[in-house]
């Protein structure tokens, strides 16, 4: 375990991560793992994260060493697409039983690898560690080494048992596993000055293929995408790329940075979500390749392609503009990618509510990220009534969010579009954005909403009317009783990670004359967890005149 814990420390100490660099030495030691609250947590574990990160490698056998829960409850549930082998969709697990727990599961693991090699003959086997075998001390690294030697085939240990931390940590540990054991172990049959890696892209719904034709046209070769639609050999050869793009998400930053360090492959952070972003990413790829020796005419061709594709995309979105102008979109997301769709929404005439963003400049994007939070859990805790209230107050026409919140939105009879991992539509590149606008249009103007909102013939009132009445009564009570309103405002939980209420933050601001988010965080710890609430704290600071208690001493001061 000591090697695992040092690995985790190493991953936490990520110089490529701006957020990490902003922390003090002490905070950095603690890592980016916030302490989970028992009874109040949601989200996957480190094993889940590791599996998600590597599973899209299509021709590898992914073997989960653990009890049935880890694989049996979760296999074949990702929407990555493969252009070749489908072996990655086959669920392999050692399904350890009571006897294994008592006597150790290493033998079963070794035999499992043997069976897989004999039956499926994959180019490599990836072995995922889970909590129970980690507890009983199964040394998967030793087993993998022995099996690799015996069967003459790479057997890669992925040491990321669930209880070491959240999904995000698992992504990074998976990255470490392929850095240590896969990348640079084979040589490509040929190289070109146009070879790139795309890092942190999983080819969900086949999205990568919305962008690949553009690269093909420019003569740019994706030497390896880590890990969407990748083959084992691609990953093993990926160290020969000339440049790399890290798809906007910090989940695999360690791979991008360490490949730069070890193999001199420069990388940039970019995104293929949104029209402007796609163009920027293409330019950036061309620029890096030219820097590394590709002919300069690549840029001209790239600009020509961008001009053509942008014009096409805008022309395709134009017909929707009329219908969509003025429609309000409430964007709530647990995914870091999603903020980049804001530009497209705005450009098709829609208004994004819940944020104060007007233009999609770089700073604005940062701000959206801040407002949405890196990992917004708030929606998971919402009751339909609260959701209804929120949608009503925002006067939203449609909600875009990810994952489980969909059922709450649907029960509130609110049009909803999935923009997270489990979605079925591909939204990448120019064609993807057009697709997104099309989907929003489809969702918004579906006649079903009119139907489902109708009251049943025997119903005196709909629940919406009852909810409206309840909300109105609540508002009236608050208006009549400023003390109650104040108490309710102060009771709002601002920082969920550190359990800080608004009252505590207000008091600290007044008592210590705090003026910055950092100062508030230092005093109250609010915002020191996932940092998703820092935008809200900034809002409290900005709006101080709205809530500062009217000081009774004021008239006296004026008199003086």
Among 287, 292, 377, 385, binds other proteins (CB under 8 A): 385
SS3 303: helix
- 60 is a site residue for other proteins (CB under 8 A): no
Q: CB 102 → other proteins: shortest distance, Å? A: 10
- 101 is a site residue for other proteins (CB under 8 A): yes
- 67 is a site residue for other proteins (CB under 8 A): yes
Q: Footprint of other proteins on residues 429-468 (CB under 8 A)?
A: 452, 463
Among 56, 66, 122, 270, binds other proteins (CB under 8 A): 66
Among 29, 150, 395, 411, binds other proteins (CB under 8 A): 411
CA-based nearest residue to 32, from 13, 54, 6: 13
- 126 is a site residue for other proteins (CB under 8 A): no
422 C-beta neighbours (distance < 10 Å), count: 14
SS3 312: helix
- 47 is a site residue for other proteins (CB under 8 A): yes
- 13 is a site residue for other proteins (CB under 8 A): no
**Bridge partners, 331 (sequence order):** 400
Among 15, 29, 30, 41, binds other proteins (CB under 8 A): 41
Q: How would DSSP label each residue in 64-81?
A: EES-HHHHHTTTT---B-
CB 230 within 8 A of CB 57: yes
Q: CB 62 → other proteins: shortest distance, Å? A: 11
Among 6, 13, 83, 86, binds other proteins (CB under 8 A): 86
Of residues 83 and 97, the one with the C-beta less far from other proteins: 97
Binding mask 152-191 for other proteins (x = CB under 8 A): ---------xxxxxx-------------------------
Among 73, 189, 451, 552, binds other proteins (CB under 8 A): 73
Q: Footprint of other proteins on residues 345-374 (CB under 8 A)?
A: none
- 264: buried, middle or exposed (CB in 10 Å: 19+, 13-18, 0-12)? exposed
125's CB contacts (< 8 A; 6+ apart) are 60, 61, 63, 113, 116, 117, 147, 153, 154, 155, 156
Of residues 192 and 488, the one with the C-beta less far from other proteins: 488
Piece of the chain touching other proteins by CB under 8 A; list 17-25, 131-139, 229-237, 296-304: 131-139
CB 247 within 8 A of CB 272: yes
CB 340 within 8 A of CB 408: no
Q: Is the dihedral angle over the CA atoms 534, 539, 545, 550 positive or is it negative?
A: negative
Piece of the chain touching other proteins by CB under 8 A; list 94-102, 217-225, 240-248, 325-333: 94-102
CB 229 within 8 A of CB 317: no
Among 7, 12, 48, 428, binds other proteins (CB under 8 A): 48
Among 20, 31, 74, 418, binds other proteins (CB under 8 A): 74
The Cα–Cα gap between 170 and 25 comes to 23
- 84 is a site residue for other proteins (CB under 8 A): no
Of residues 255 and 412, the one with the C-beta less far from other proteins: 412
The Cα–Cα gap between 307 and 551 comes to 59
Of residues 286 and 412, the one with the C-beta less far from other proteins: 412
Question: The tokens 């990810």 sit on which residue?
Answer: 402
Torsion of CA 20, 26, 27, 31, to 10 degrees: 70
Of residues 233 and 413, the one with the C-beta less far from other proteins: 413
- 45 is a site residue for other proteins (CB under 8 A): yes
């Amino acid at each position: 375990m000591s090697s695992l814990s040092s690995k985790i420390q190493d991953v936490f100490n990520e110089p490529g991560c701006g957020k990490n660099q902003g922390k003090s030495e002490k905070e950095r030691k603690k890592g980016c793992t916030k302490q989970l609250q028992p009874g109040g947590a949601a989200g996957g574990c480190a094993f889940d994260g590791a599996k998600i990160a590597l599973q899209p490698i299509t021709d590898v056998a992914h073997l989960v060493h653990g009890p049935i829960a880890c694989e049996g409850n979760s296999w074949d549930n990702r929407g990555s697409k493969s252009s070749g082998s489908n072996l990655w969709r086959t669920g392999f697990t050692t399904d350890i039983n009571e006897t294994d727990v008592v006597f150790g599961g290493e033998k079963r693991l070794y035999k499992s690898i043997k069976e897989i090699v004999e039956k499926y003959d994959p180019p490599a086997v990836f072995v995922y560690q889970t909590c129970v075998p980690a507890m009983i001390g199964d040394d998967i690294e030793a087993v993998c080494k022995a099996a690799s030697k015996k069967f003459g085939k790479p057997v890669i240990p992925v040491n990321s048992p669930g209880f070491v931390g959240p999904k995000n940590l698992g992504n990074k540990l998976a990255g470490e596993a392929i850095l240590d054991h896969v990348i640079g172990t084979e040589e490509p049959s040929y190289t070109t000055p146009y070879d790139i890696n795309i890092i942190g892209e999983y080819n969900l719904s086949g999205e990568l293929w919305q962008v690949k034709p553009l690269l093909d046209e420019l003569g740019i070769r994706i030497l390896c995408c880590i890990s969407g639609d990748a083959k084992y050999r691609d990953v093993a050869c990926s160290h020969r790329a000339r440049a790399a793009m890290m798809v906007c998400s910090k989940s695999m930053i360690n791979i991008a940075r360490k490949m730069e360090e070890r193999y001199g492959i420069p990388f940039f952070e970019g995104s293929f979500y949104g029209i402007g972003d796609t163009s920027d990413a293409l330019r950036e790829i061309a620029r890096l390749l030219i820097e590394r020796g590709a002919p300069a005419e690549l840029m001209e061709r790239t600009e020509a392609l961008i001009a053509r594709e942008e014009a096409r995309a805008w022309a395709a979105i134009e017909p929707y503009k009329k219908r969509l102008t003025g429609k309000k979109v409430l964007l709530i997301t647990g995914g870091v990618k999603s903020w980049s769709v804001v530009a497209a929404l705005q450009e098709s005439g829609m208004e994004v509510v819940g944020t104060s963003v007007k233009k999609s400049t770089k700073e604005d994007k940062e701000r959206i990220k801040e407002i949405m939070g890196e990992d917004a859990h708030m929606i998971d805790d919402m009751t339909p009534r609260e959701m209804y209230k929120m949608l009503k107050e925002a006067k939203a026409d449609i909600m875009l969010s990810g994952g489980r919140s969909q059922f709450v939105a649907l029960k509130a009879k609110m049009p909803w579009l999935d923009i997270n991992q489990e979605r079925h539509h591909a939204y990448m590149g120019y064609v993807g954005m057009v697709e997104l606008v099309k989907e929003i249009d489809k969702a918004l103007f579906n006649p079903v909403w009119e139907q489902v909102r109708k009251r049943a013939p025997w119903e005196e009132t709909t629940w919406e009317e009852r909810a409206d009445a309840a909300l109105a009564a609540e508002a009236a009570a608050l208006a009549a009783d400023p003390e109650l309103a104040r108490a309710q405002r102060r009771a709002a939980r601002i920082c969920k990670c550190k359990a800080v209420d608004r009252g505590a933050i207000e008091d600290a601001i007044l008592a210590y004359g705090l003026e910055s988010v950092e100062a508030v965080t230092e005093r109250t710890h609010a915002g020191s967890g996932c940092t998703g609430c820092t935008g809200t704290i900034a809002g409290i600071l900005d709006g101080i005149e709205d809530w500062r208690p009217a000081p009774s001493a004021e008239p006296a001061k004026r008199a003086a």
